[in-house]
């Protein structure tokens, strides 16, 4: 059994975990929700904080009266929690409505720093959120290059990026974990190569963050994006950037918001107050899970978060293996991405195609079984096209998280065996 902080890692108590999510126990108890890469359900800790803010503190920020002071403190605490969640320094986290919008804001903020003829490299495997805003810069004098995926493995390889790197490249954009196939990429190795070439690295961690604790300092990247509503929180996006880089980027708020006012200068219209209030509930939930599974209290929030995510990863590897074992042996199924359940290689976001069937045919057949999965390109259309899966209407995707159960996977396997 693995060791963590001098304690053995226990098995995840899934019944306890599920008891924290009203959607799973009260509202949809008969359904197996396996479309979590599109958005997870929220625990009661998040819901309580959002509702409490709406009931008690729905006022403007920054005034002298006590209610406004408390509301301001709540939004400040949300930013501070978001910093702890990703291992950031003070002032390095921007909170916005979505990753798509955060990436667009970042692109607009960085463009004035570059000259016509400078280059940006985008990956063919990314969600469009981390391609479209950068590709649009081609209309304004930036050369946009594409880092091609490997069709046989649905992976990005460093040796395919290296020939694209030269002194004119300002930024490389890539996915930490491919949202269509669940593959985890070696961000550290890629960051080293990008920095060696004098460029910066922007990583989309949307599909990674629900499954592993993000540590931006350890990754050595320059910008990192994730969607908090896929990490058991409210519908918000998080943009992290090195403080000096965010200060150098041009503000996208009102003209009188100073360039040193990070993150506010990159939060036009301000962050959503009541949803910010709910963010801290993610930390409450992770801490409750940690305390339930370990006798020794965590030395810090981050340590508690790390211990919870280790529990999640071990459980999710079991879920992935149970499904992958069936898919690997099925004569008509092709797994897109890693066939292994190794948690160092993939998360339990699993894509496949079925010979002679369009992807759109499969999920509706599972609805009567109360199994919620999905088909399509999942906004990674360029990757689906590169994989030659357009005519198949993309992939069938099963995206699980730690609150899914082995019994649910067994139900899915039985239903797939019947309909395939």
Task: Give 261-308 as a DSSP string.
Answer: -TTGGG-TT---HHHHHHHHHHHHHHHHHHHHH-SSPPSSHHHHHHHH
Range 267-272 average pLDDT:
96
Distance, CA of 48 to CA of 44 (rounded, Å): 6
Distance, CA of 265 to CA of 260 (rounded, Å): 8
Distance, CA of 112 to CA of 90 (rounded, Å): 25
Q: What are residue 194's phi and psi, to 5 degrees?
A: -65, -45
Three-state SS string across 346-367, please? Answer: ECCEEEEEECCCCHHHHHHHHH
pLDDT in tens, 302-360: 999 999 999 999 999 999 999 999 999 999 999 999 999 999 999 999 999 999 999 99
Please give the share of the chain, as a percent, with pLDDT higher than 70.
98
Residue 9, pLDDT score: 74
Residue 322, pLDDT score: 98
Neighbours of 225 (CB within 10 A): 29
Range 282-297 average pLDDT:
97
CB 227 within 8 A of CB 247: no
Q: What are residue 15's phi and psi, to 5 degrees?
A: -60, -40
Q: Is the pLDDT of residue 275 over 60?
A: yes
DSSP-derived 3-state class of residue 319: helix
pLDDT in tens, 199-212: 999 999 999 999 99
Cis peptide before 139 (omega within 30 of 0): no
Distance, CA of 104 to CA of 99 (rounded, Å): 9
Per-residue pLDDT band at 45 (split at 50, 70, 90) = very high
Per-residue pLDDT band at 3 (split at 50, 70, 90) = very low
Per-residue pLDDT band at 186 (split at 50, 70, 90) = very high
What CA–CA distances, in Å, run from 164 to 41, 121, 171, 221, 344? 40, 8, 11, 18, 27
DSSP-derived 3-state class of residue 140: helix
CB 242 within 8 A of CB 92: yes
Distance, CA of 174 to CA of 273 (rounded, Å): 30
Range 411-420 average pLDDT:
97
Helices 44-56/273-293 angle, 10° precision = 150
Residue from 332, 388, 349 nearest 149 by CA: 388
Range 7-14 average pLDDT:
84
Q: Is the pLDDT of residue 2 over 50?
A: no
pLDDT in tens, 76-119: 999 999 999 999 999 999 999 999 999 999 999 999 999 999 99
Distance, CA of 31 to CA of 341 (rounded, Å): 24
Locate 105 and state its tokens. Answer: 């804001």
Residue 1, pLDDT score: 31
Helices 66-86/301-329 angle, 10° precision = 50
Q: What is the mean pLDDT of the chain?
A: 96
Domains and CATH numbers, the chain: 3-41+300-419 (3.90.1150.10), 50-280 (3.40.640.10)
Could you tell me which residue, 1 or 102, shows the higher pLDDT? 102
Q: What are residue 385's phi and psi, to 5 degrees?
A: -65, -45
Per-residue pLDDT band at 6 (split at 50, 70, 90) = very low
pLDDT in tens, 152-177: 999 999 999 999 999 999 999 999 99
């Amino acid at each position: 059994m693995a060791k963590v902080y001098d304690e053995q890692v226990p098995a995840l108590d899934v019944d306890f975990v599920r008891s924290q999510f009203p959607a799973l126990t009260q509202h949809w108890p008969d359904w197996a929700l396996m479309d979590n890469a599109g958005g997870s359900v929220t625990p009661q800790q998040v819901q309580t904080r959002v509702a409490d803010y709406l009931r008690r503190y729905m006022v403007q920020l920054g005034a002298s009266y006590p209610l406004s002071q408390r509301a301001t403190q709540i939004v400040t605490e949300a930013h501070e929690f978001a910093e702890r969640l990703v291992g950031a320094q003070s002032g390095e986290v921007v909170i916005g409505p979505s990753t798509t919008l955060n990436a667009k804001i970042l692109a607009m903020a960085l463009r004035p720093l570059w000259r016509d003829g400078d280059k940006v490299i985008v990956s063919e495997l990314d969600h469009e959120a981390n391609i479209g805003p950068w590709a649009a810069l081609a209309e304004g004098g930036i050369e946009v290059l594409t880092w091609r995926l490997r069709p046989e493995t649905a992976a990005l390889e460093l040796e395919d990026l290296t020939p694209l790197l030269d002194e004119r490249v300002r930024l490389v954009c890539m996915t930490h974990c491919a949202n269509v196939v669940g593959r985890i990429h070696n961000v550290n190795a890629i960051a080293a190569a990008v920095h060696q070439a004098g460029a910066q690295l922007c990583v989309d961690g949307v599909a990674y963050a629900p499954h592993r604790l993000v540590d931006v300092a350890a990754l050595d990247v320059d910008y990192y994006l994730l969607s908090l509503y896929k990490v058991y929180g409210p519908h918000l996006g998080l943009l992290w950037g090195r403080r000096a880089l965010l200060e150098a980027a041009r503000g996208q708020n009102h003209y009188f918001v100073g360039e040193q006012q990070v993150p506010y200068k990159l939060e036009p219209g301000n962050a959503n107050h009541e949803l910010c209030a709910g963010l801290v509930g993610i930390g409450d939930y992770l801490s409750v899970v940690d305390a339930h599974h370990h006798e020794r209290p965590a030395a810090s929030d981050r340590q508690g978060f790390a211990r919870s995510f280790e529990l999640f990863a071990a459980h999710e590897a079991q879920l992935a293996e149970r499904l992958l074992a069936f898919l690997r042996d099925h004569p008509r199924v092709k797994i897109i991405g890693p066939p292994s359940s190794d948690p160092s290689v993939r998360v339990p976001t699993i894509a496949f195609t079925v010979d002679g069937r369009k992807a759109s045919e499969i999920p509706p057949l599972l609805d009567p079984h109360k199994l919620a999965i999905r088909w399509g390109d999942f906004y990674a259309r360029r990757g689906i096209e590169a994989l030659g899966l357009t005519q198949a209407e993309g992939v069938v995707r099963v995206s699980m998280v730690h609150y899914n159960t082995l019994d649910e996977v067994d139900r899915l396997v039985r239903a797939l065996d019947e309909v395939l």
